[in-house]
Amino acid sequence: MNNKTSNQNFSVIPGLNMGLFSPKNLAAILEVINKYEVPATKITGAQRLALLGMEKEDMKTMHQELKPFIREAVPNGVTYVQACPGKKWCRYGKADSFTLGKKLEKLSFDDPFTAKVKVGISACRMCCTEPYLRDVGIFASKSGWTLVFGGNGGGRPRIGDVVAKKLSDDEVIELVKKCLILYQKEARPTSRSARFMERFGIEELQKQVLT
Which domain CATH number covers 125?
A: 3.30.413.10
Residues 48 and 102 grouped into a single domain: no
- Select from 25, 44, 69 the last residue of a domain: 69
Q: pLDDT band at 78, cuts 50/70/90? A: very high
Residues 84 and 64 grouped into a single domain: no
- Select from 36, 69, 102 the last residue of a domain: 69
Residues 157 and 202 grouped into a single domain: yes
Which strands form 49-54's sheet, in the order they lie side by side? 2-5, 8-13, 49-54, 40-43
Q: Indicate if the alpha-carbon torsion angle 21, 22, 24, 27 is positive or negative.
A: positive
Residues 48 and 123 grouped into a single domain: no
The Cα 13–Cα 2 span in angstroms is: 9
Q: pLDDT band at 8, cuts 50/70/90? A: low
Residues 15 and 99 grouped into a single domain: no
Residues 114 and 20 grouped into a single domain: no
The pLDDT assigned to 4 comes to 46
**How far is Cα of residue 26 from the mean position of the Cα atoms in its chain?**
21
> What global pTM score does this model have?
0.88
Residues 198 and 94 grouped into a single domain: yes
The Cα 197–Cα 123 span in angstroms is: 25
* 75 falls within a domain: no
**What is the average pLDDT across 38-44?**
87
For residue 19, what is the domain's CATH number?
A: 3.30.1370
Residues 65 and 86 grouped into a single domain: no
Residues 203 and 100 grouped into a single domain: yes
Query: 164 is in which domain, residue-wise?
Result: 80-209
Q: pLDDT band at 58, cuts 50/70/90? A: confident
Read off the pLDDT of residues 148-160 as tens digits, 9 standing for 90 and up: 999 999 999 999 9
Which strands form 161-167's sheet, in the order they lie side by side? 80-83, 118-122, 136-141, 144-149, 161-167
**How many domains does the chain divide into?**
2
